[in-house]
Amino acid sequence: MPKQHRVIPIVKQSASTAKSRVHYDCLKCPGYCCSYDLIEVGKRDVARLAKHFDVTYQQAEDRFTKYYRDSKVRTLRHQKDELFGKICTFFDTKKRQCTIYDARPGLCRNYPDQPHCGYFDFLQFEREHQDDATYIALTS
């Protein structure tokens, strides 16, 4: 049986969602959304990466993305991560932050597409109950 992957689809952000008050702080998160199996990218995202790294579109596509034929999705490549097993190749696993923040894909710019992040809510809950502001709650 083929392995199932979590896919973060590319979703356009509505005007009302964009104006909603945000109830999460990505700087206090260990990068859970960056650990999703499939972080979908489009042609504009690949072009943005090419410009950021001063390489051709084809070089950026080959170096930084992978195409999954079964789901027909182009995604960012991953690297090993001690917390989540694997994480986006552009994620600094020591500082726990994005290394290409200004050139990050549109999906990452709009995630989550609502005022709350479920993982951040879970993380805050666990940190309060553990009485530890740096506790990293993991899901399996």
Closest CA relative to residue 42, chosen from 26, 21, 56, 57:
57
Higher pLDDT, residue 29 or 34: 34
Q: What is the pLDDT averaged over residues 12-32?
A: 69
Per-residue pLDDT band for 9 (boundaries 50, 70, 90) equals low
Contact 29, 123 (CB under 8 A): yes
Calpha distance 120→139 (Å, rounded): 12
Whole-number pLDDT of residue 75: 96
Whole-number pLDDT of residue 17: 47
Tens digits of residue pLDDT in 76-124 = 999 999 999 999 999 999 999 999 999 999 999 988 888 888 888 888 8
The torsion angles phi and psi of 73, rounded to 5 degrees, stand at -130, 135
pLDDT averaged over every residue in the chain: 85
Cis bond upstream, residue 115 (ω within 30):
no
Whole-number pLDDT of residue 23: 78
Check pLDDT > 60 for residue 16: no
Which residue(s) pair with 79 in the sheet? 87
Percent of the chain at pLDDT exceeding 70: 84
Q: How many CB atoms lie within 10 A of CB 64?
A: 23
Whole-number pLDDT of residue 56: 98
Token digits of residue 130? 């553990």
Token digits of residue 49? 């990466």
Calpha distance 46→61 (Å, rounded): 6
Contact 106, 45 (CB under 8 A): yes
Tens digits of residue pLDDT in 49-61 = 999 999 999 999 9
Contact 23, 30 (CB under 8 A): no
